[in-house]
A and B are shown apart, each in its own frame.
Chain A
Amino acid sequence: MAHVQQLEGAKYICCCGSLKPICSIYFCRHCLRLRCPYCVSHEVDSHYCGNCSENMPSAEAKQKKNRCGTCYDCPSCRQTLTIRATTIQIPSEADPAKLAVQKLYYLACGFCRWTSRDAGLPDSPSTSGTWQEPESPFSKEIVHMHDYLRVLALREKNSKEKKFVHKSKYLAAGRHGLAHLLPKRYPISTPDEMYKPIPPPEYVAPTKGDDEFQELSDKFFEEEINVPKVTSLEQRLHQLETQPHETSALLPTHKQLLIKRSLRCRVCERNISKPEYSPVSVKFKIQLNAFYHVVQVRMAAPLSQPLNPGGTATILLKLSNPTQFPTSIKFLPFAFVPLSKDDLSSQMGALDVKVDPARESSTDVSLPSNISSPSTSITIIASPSHGGRSALPSESSSSSQMMKEVHVLPIRNEKFVNNCRLVVVPEAEVVLPPKDETSDFVDDYADTPDFNDDPKLVPWRKANKATVCLDIVRDQNSNPEEEPVLGITIEYDYVNTIVALENKSSPGPQKVRLQTHVLISLNTGYIQ
C-alpha cells in the first residue's frame, strides 16, 4: 500500500512550499492547512533503547548521557554486544575441599568476535556486570577549569551590573588584577572587593619543552606495525572520552538511546502527531496525517503516448475520499501562490528573510489571470450551496492566520515545474461518498448509488473512489527535456469535527470548502 501512495508522481504542495507525497504530509485540523515535517516543530517526546525497548524518563536519560543502562555496543564494530556465560570451578565456601561451579559472564560481539576479555576486563559474576567505562583521564582538571571560568564570568557579570567598567575585553584576560573569588550569587557591594585579586587557577595546562616531548625513537621504528591493532578514526570517535590509539584500550560503551518525536503545528501550537508512550507500540495518540483528511489524487492509467510540447492528451485521475463524510470535488486551474515575506518586510524591520530571488523566479508558475486574490495553499472559501450551515471564518480571521503563517512558518518554496494545463476546466463537481471500511471487501457494484455522473467526466466509480477523465495540453514553449507535469488545484468539502468537540455551543460539525494544490508528473505518476 505504501508504495502506491509514496509515489513521487503526485506531490502535494505544503503551505511552506515543500513538495511531498501525501503520506509524508500532515493536515492541521485546527488551522485547516497542510503541514509537512519541514514546517512543523519537532519535539522530543520520550527516550527509549532500541535494543531492549525499555523506556527511560528524560531526566534519567539526561543523567545517563542518553545511554541505555543495560545494553552495550561493541567498541570495535558498533553492533550490540551479547552477554555470554561461562563456568569456572572454585573451592566451595561451605567445604573448601570440594569444588563448586560458578557462573561468570562476559560481553561478546557476534559480528566481529570482540569480547570484553580483549579489553582486559575480568568476567563478571552477575549478568548486569559493572563493566569499566571509558573516562577522560583529565576530567578532574576539566572540572577545575569549569569552576575557575565560572568565577571569572560571575565576576564579569557582577562588575557589569554594578556599572564598574571592565577593562579586559576577553574572559581569559579577566584574571589579571581583578578581585576576589566570589561564591555569592549577588553583586558585591564595594569596589574594594572587586579589586581583590582572584586566586590563581587550580589547574593550568603545563607546557613542556623538547626534553619532554621527544621525537619518536629509533626503537619505535624497529617494530613492525600491526595495522589491525591500531584503532580506526571511527572507533576513536565513538569513544571520545579517551580516543584510544590501540584496540586493546577499547571499552564497551552503553548503547545510545533513541527518541520518539512529537510534531507540533507552529501556527496554532497544537500537536499534529504524538506517539504512544510505550516504545513497543507503533500507534499514535494523535496522528493528523493528510492521508486521512485530504482527497487523494493519482494517475489511474499511464499516458498512451509521450506528451510533447504543444501536444494534448486525455488522462485518467483516480480520486478517493478518505474521510467519514461525503465530499464534492471541483477542479480548478493551478492557483498556488507561494508564501512570501516580501509584502511584510517593512514590518519585519531590517531582517532579510526574503526568499532567494533566483529560486523565486525559477518556479515556473503561470498564474491564471482570473485568480486575483493571493491564496495560500488551502483557502477557506464560502460555498453558496452550504452557506446556511457552515460557520465560516470571516475574511479577516483568515487573513490574520495568513499573517501568522508568514511570520511563523519556515518558508521553503521548493523549485518545481508545471508545464501542463487543463484544456477545459470541468464545470461539474464530482461527488464522492464517505469511506466505508467494509466496501473494500465487497465486489458488488449494485450498492453504488447513482450520482448522475457525466460518463465523459467520470467513467468509473466504486464506493469512495472515482476516476476522472481530463483533457490536458502541454505548454508550447515548455522545455522538451523536462517531463510533463500537470499542476491542478482541487477544491473539496471538508467536515471539521474538531469545532463541535471544542465548542459545545456549536450546532455541529463545521463544513468548509478547502483547496489543495497537486503536481502530477505524467510520466512517472503511474506505476502498475
Chain B
Amino acid sequence: MPIYEGIGIINEKYPVVLEIGRYLTKAGFAGESSPRCVIPSKIKTKDAAGSRRLSDFKDSADLYQMLVEFLHHLYCKYLLVTPKDRKVVVVESLFATTIWRQTLAKVLYLHYEVLTVLWIPSPIASVSSTNQDTALIVDFGSEEVQIIPVFKGVTILCGVVCHELGADTFDKELKSILMDNCLNNSNKEELDRCLTPAKVEDIRVRCCVVTSSSRAAQIQRPEDITLTKFKPFLYELDGQNFLQFHGIAREKPSEVWFKNDDRDGISIPLMILQVLSICPVDTRKPLAANILITGGTGMLPGLRGRLLKELKTLTANSADTLMNDPVLQERFANGNYEFKMYDPPVKPNCMAWLGGTLYGATEALGLRGINKEFFLKHGLIPDWCDLQFDMVNANGSPVISRG
C-alpha cells in the first residue's frame, strides 16, 4: 500500500533508470547492479503484425501515444512503481533525434508527472561504468556501429564515426550465408520462409562467433573450405524439423566487421584508426589503450581478441595493409601504438545502463537533472546540438541565450 511506502528504513524512492534503445529497452532502479528487465522496444497492436516498434513512429503525436503505452507497460508489469513524482534517469543516444527527445520529455513530464529527469548521453554513461574517464567507445547497436572517443570525460564529437554495421547488417549477411550453406534443404523458398528474422537472430546469438584471423583468411579462399575443418551444426526449427548448416555460417558473417570490400570499404579496425587520426594527437595513445566495447551485438565470443589482433596487424611495422590511405599510413604504420581493451564489470549490453544507475544514485540527479518547472517554462530540454544551450551559468545549469 502506497501509504506505507515512506515508512521505515527504506524510505528512499530510488530513481528509475531507462535506456530506450532501438531494439531493446533496459529499465531498472538506480543503485542496483543489473537492470530489472530488458524488453523489446515494442508495443502491442491489434493488427495482424501484433506489435509495433517504437522507432517506426509516424509523427510526434503517434510517438507520444506509443511512448505512453510503452511506459505504462514498463511501469505496471516490470518496475511496479507509481511513475508520478519519482525521479528518472534517461540514458540516451548522442544522436537521438529532437522529435524523439522532445516527445519523450513531454510524456515523462506531462503525462507521467515526473519531477526531475536526468538526461545522460550514453557515451558518458558507458565511460563512467568503468570508473575511468577516458575511453574509445565502440558501440555495436542494432542499426549501426558508432565509434565515440571520450577523453577525460569530454566527448570528442568531431571524432565520431558511424557505419551501418550493426545487428541488422549482420543478420542480413548471416541469412544470405545460411541460405547458401544449408546441408539438408536446398529449397531456397522454403528456407527463406523458415528463416524468419527471429530465427536468424537466434542463430546469431547462439551459434555465431568471431573467428580467428588465420581461419578468416581461409574463409576467403573457397578451396580451403572443407566440412572437416568447419564442423556443421544442427539448428532446431521446431520439435521435428532440423536444419543442418555448414560450419562456415558460424564464422563468416562476422567478417562484415573486418573485411573492407563492402560498399563503404570500411571495417571496424579501420574505423578505429580513422577516429584516432581525427582526434587530437595527445589523446590518441590514451584512447588506443582504452577501447571499450558496448552494445549487445558486441557480445559475440572472440570479438575482443580478434579486434585487438587486427589492430595490431594493421599498424605493424611492415604493414602495407593500411589500404591506400597515406594519412593513416603515416600516423599508424610505425607500430608504436599499443591497443588495449577494457574488461568491464558488466556485459557490454548493460554498460550504458549501468552508467545511468551510477549517476542516478548520486546527488548528480538533483544537480544536473532537468526539473519539471524548467520544462514547463521553456518547453524544451537542453540539447548539445541546440545553440541556445551553449552557455551554462556559474551553477552549471543551462542558460537559454535567446532573448
A interface with B by C-beta (< 8 Å): 38, 41-47, 57-59, 61-63, 65-66, 136, 138-139, 141-146, 148-150, 152-154, 156-157, 160, 163, 165-166, 168-176, 201, 203-210, 212-218, 220-225, 227-228, 230-233, 236-237, 240-241, 243, 245, 256-257, 259, 261, 277, 348-353, 355-356, 358-359, 410, 412
Contacts and interface: CB of A to CB of B under 8 A. Distances in A.
Given A172-B152, A216-B210, A240-B35, A150 B363 contact: yes
Contact of B347 (A146, A163, A243): A243
A172 B82 contact: no
Top 4 closest pairs, chain A to chain B, by CB = A170-B153, A138-B345, A153-B362, A172-B153
Nearest to B24: A237
A168 B341 contact: no
A223 to B, nearest CB: 8
Interface string B109-130: 0110100000000001001111
Contacts of A277: 1
A355 B308 contact: no
B36 A215 contact: no
B394 A204 contact: no
A130 B76 CA distance: 29
User: Taking each of B79, B80, B229, B235, which has the highest tally of chain A beta carbons within 10 Å of its own beta carbon?
Assistant: B80
A230 B206 contact: yes
Contact of A146 (B133, B153, B361): B361
A23 to B, nearest CB: 17
User: Taking each of B65, B202, B232, B340, which has the highest tally of chain A beta carbons within 10 Å of its own beta carbon?
Assistant: B340
28 contacts: A44-B2, A44-B76, A44-B81, A44-B82, A47-B80, A58-B2, A63-B10, A142-B346, A149-B362, A172-B124, A172-B128, A172-B132, A175-B133, A201-B131, A205-B342, A205-B343, A205-B345, A207-B340, A209-B340, A210-B305, A215-B213, A216-B302, A218-B215, A221-B229, A237-B37, A237-B38, A237-B39, A259-B80
Contacts of B231: 221-225
B10 A59 contact: yes
Contacts of A353: 106, 110
A63 B31 CA distance: 13
B4 interface: yes
Given A57-B4, A225-B207, A358 B76 contact: no
A352 B395 contact: no
User: Taking each of B37, B153, B342, B343, which has the highest tally of chain A beta carbons within 10 Å of its own beta carbon?
Assistant: B153
A186 to B, nearest CB: 13
Contacts of B345: 136, 138, 141-142, 145, 203, 205
A163 B394 CA distance: 8
A204 B130 CA distance: 6
User: Taking each of A139, A141, A243, A257, which has the highest tally of chain B beta carbons within 10 Å of its own beta carbon?
Assistant: A243
Given A205-B131, A224-B231, A356-B60, 19 more contacts: A45-B1, A59-B7, A142-B33, A145-B131, A172-B127, A172-B152, A205-B342, A206-B342, A209-B308, A213-B304, A215-B302, A216-B305, A221-B229, A223-B231, A232-B206, A349-B376, A351-B377, A351-B379, A410-B68
Contacts of A149: 128, 131, 358-359, 361-362, 364
Contacts of B202: 232-233
Contact of B367 (A58, A157, A259): A157
B124 A170 contact: yes
Interface in B57-86: 59-61, 65, 68, 72, 75-76, 78-84
B207 A42 contact: no
Contact of A208 (B38, B61, B309, B341): B341
Given A66-B80, A215-B306, A145 B212 contact: no
B201 interface: yes
Given A138-B33, A227-B233, A358 B2 contact: no
B140 to A, nearest CB: 14
Contacts of A138: 33, 345-346
A453 B178 CA distance: 75
Q: How large is the interface on B (under 10, 10 to 19, 20 to 34, 35 or more residues)?
A: 35 or more
Contacts of A214: 305
Contacts of B72: 42
A353 B304 CA distance: 47
A220 to B, nearest CB: 8
B312 interface: yes
Contacts, number: 262
B136 to A, nearest CB: 11
B365 to A, nearest CB: 8
Contacts of A233: 201-202, 205
B154 interface: yes
A350 B205 CA distance: 47
A359 B396 CA distance: 39
A230 B131 contact: no
B301 interface: yes
A460 to B, nearest CB: 35
A237 B296 CA distance: 11
Contacts of B180: none
A43 B341 CA distance: 45
A207 B134 CA distance: 12
B34 interface: yes
Contact of B301 (A208, A216, A358): A216
B23 to A, nearest CB: 11
Given A153-B367, A204-B130, A353-B110, A215 B305 contact: yes
A136 B205 contact: no
Interface in B197-215: 201-202, 205-207, 209-213, 215
A146 B31 contact: yes
A218 B212 contact: yes
Contacts of B399: none
Nearest to B129: A145
B281 to A, nearest CB: 20
A210 B366 CA distance: 41
Contact of A145 (B7, B8, B110, B358): B358
A216 B233 contact: no
A261 B76 contact: yes
Given A44-B2, A59-B8, A358-B59, A142 B82 contact: no
User: Taking each of A57, A62, A165, A353, which has the highest tally of chain B beta carbons within 10 Å of its own beta carbon?
Assistant: A62
A210 B213 CA distance: 13
A516 B194 CA distance: 52
Contacts of A169: 153-154
Nearest to B75: A42
User: Taking each of A65, A204, A205, which has the highest tally of chain B beta carbons within 10 Å of its own beta carbon?
Assistant: A205
B8 A232 contact: no
A236 to B, nearest CB: 8
B153 A168 contact: yes
Interface in B176-228: 201-202, 205-207, 209-213, 215
Given A172-B152, A209-B308, A225-B207, A152 B127 contact: no
A203 B130 CA distance: 9
